[in-house]
Amino acid sequence: MYGVSGPGDLEPGGTNTVAAPSQYAELARHLSAIGVLRRGLARSLPVECPSGPAAVLALLGRHGELRMSGLAELLGVDASVSSRHVAHVVDRGWVERAPDPQDGRSRILRLTPGGRDMLTELHRRTTELFARRLHDWTDDEVGELIGMLARLRDSFGVCRALPHDGPES
């Protein structure tokens, strides 16, 4: 109907082509619960660095220098939200804004030494939390979860760019 096979439709090898609707409902329930987990993770962050600014530091740590537009795209938020987060980290001296040599109207964001220190503290706290909570998981199980979450994220692409994901025609 929408360009995909239905549950029970079999590929030539006898494998299902899509999951059953009940599995998608169960997945939605678990993803909702992940929101609770994320809020718990946010509570482990330093009070002076809530989750939005922490995400800015993490992205700058991972990608290096970024323009505001690139940061907003990576965060999956609009410019006003990313501007608030950037103002927070700039006010604390964790990030600096520098002129973009290729476009004088733009600014490049980069971590300062203080920002790298805060990022190190954020990594320490999140690593300790995961180590405590997942102490009975094997390396293979953690790796499997990482792989599946990455695949799920890739399946959705950049969600901010999608206005409304209704049925495809």
- Strand 66-67 with 103-111, pairing: antiparallel
- Does this model's pTM top 0.85? no
The reported pLDDT for the residue numbered 6 is 45
> Looking at the domain 47-156, which fold is it?
Arc Repressor Mutant, subunit A (1.10.10)
Q: What is the pLDDT of residue 164?
A: 46
**pLDDT at residue 21, as a whole number:** 84
User: Are the C-beta atoms of 71 and 83 separated by less than 8 Å?
Assistant: no
Q: How confident is the prediction along the chain (169 residues), in pLDDT tens digits per residue?
A: 333 444 444 455 556 568 888 888 999 898 888 888 888 888 999 999 999 999 999 999 999 999 999 999 999 898 899 999 999 999 999 999 999 888 878 899 999 999 999 999 999 999 999 999 999 999 999 999 999 999 998 888 755 544 444 444 4
- Residues ≥6 apart with Cβ < 8 Å to 5: 17, 18
Give CA 40 to chain center in angstroms: 15
